[in-house]
A and B are shown apart, each in its own frame.
Chain A
Amino acid sequence: DAKTTQPNSMESNEEEPVHLPCNHSTISGTDYIHWYRQLPSQGPEYVIHGLTSNVNNRMASLAIAEDRKSSTLILHRATLRDAAVYYCILRDNGGGADGLTFGKGTHLIIQP
C-alpha cells in the first residue's frame, strides 16, 4: 500500500470545525482512502472512506483532491470526545489487499 503523510498533532477548540490533512502523492488508481481513529484505551474505530468523490457520513466528511494526491477529513463540530489519534490509510482494492497499514497518525487535541 502507498504511504501517507500526516501532521504529528493538531489542536482545535470545542464546537469548531476541524480539518485534518493527509498527503498521499503516490496513490494508485485502485487505492481507497480510509480514515480511522483511536480514542485512548480503545481499539481503532472506522470513520470514513472514499475513492474519488467527496463522502459524508454521520461522523465526518472526506474531501478528496481532484488529483487524489491529498485528502482532508472534516469534523464539522468537534467535541471533547473527538480527541483521538486519526489515521489516514490507503488500501489497494486491486486484488489481494493487505491489512491496514497504520502510520503515526495525527494526535488531535480538543480544547474546551
Chain B
Amino acid sequence: KAGVTQTPRYLIKTRGQQVTLSCSPISGHRSVSWYQQTPGQGLQFLFEYFSETQRNKGNFPGRFSGRQFSNSRSEMNVSTLELGDSALYLCASSLMSGGYNEQFFGPGTRLTVL
C-alpha cells in the first residue's frame, strides 16, 4: 500500500499571501489529521477530519482551515501568512477516528514565509 503523500514538499511564500497544502491518505483510511512542527513549539495538533467533517480542532487561529473530500483526500489552507507560520506541516491518516487508532504520517510540507 502506498503511504501518506503530501504536496508540495517545499513551498516559499511571502507575508500576507495564502497557501493550500494537500494530503492523500493511505487507501481505505477515512481520518486525516494535520500537525504543525516548529523548533520552538514542537509538534502541535491543528485539526482532524473524518468523513468530510471536522472532528477536532487544536488551538490555532481561524486563519488555519481545512477540508476533506469524499475520497478522504484533505487540504489545509492558511490565509494571511505570517512569518511565524514557517514550519513543517504534517498530515497523518488513520483507518477511523478514535483514540485506539494509530496514525501514519506523511513526509510533510516545509513552508517558508518571507
Task: Give A contacts to B, CB under 8 Å.
Answer: 30-32, 34, 36, 42-46, 49, 51, 91-94, 96-104
Contacts and interface: CB of A to CB of B under 8 A. Distances in A.
Interface stretch (B64-72, B76-84, B102-110): B102-110
Given A32-B99, A97-B99, A46 B45 contact: no
B76 to A, nearest CB: 13
Contact of A49 (B46, B56, B102): B102
Given A51-B100, A96-B55, A99-B47, 18 more contacts: A30-B99, A32-B100, A36-B103, A43-B105, A43-B106, A43-B108, A46-B103, A46-B104, A49-B100, A93-B99, A97-B99, A98-B56, A99-B45, A99-B46, A99-B48, A100-B35, A100-B92, A101-B45
B22 interface: no
B99 A42 contact: no
A97 B94 CA distance: 13
B62 interface: no
B33 interface: yes
A97 B45 contact: no
Interface of B: 33, 35, 42-48, 55-56, 58, 90, 92, 97-100, 102-108
A44 B46 CA distance: 15
A112 to B, nearest CB: 27
A30 B98 CA distance: 11
A46 B33 contact: no
B52 to A, nearest CB: 17
A96 B48 CA distance: 10
B42 A104 contact: yes
A56 to B, nearest CB: 15
B45 A100 contact: yes
A97 B56 contact: yes
A24 to B, nearest CB: 13
B35 to A, nearest CB: 7
Nearest to A46: B102
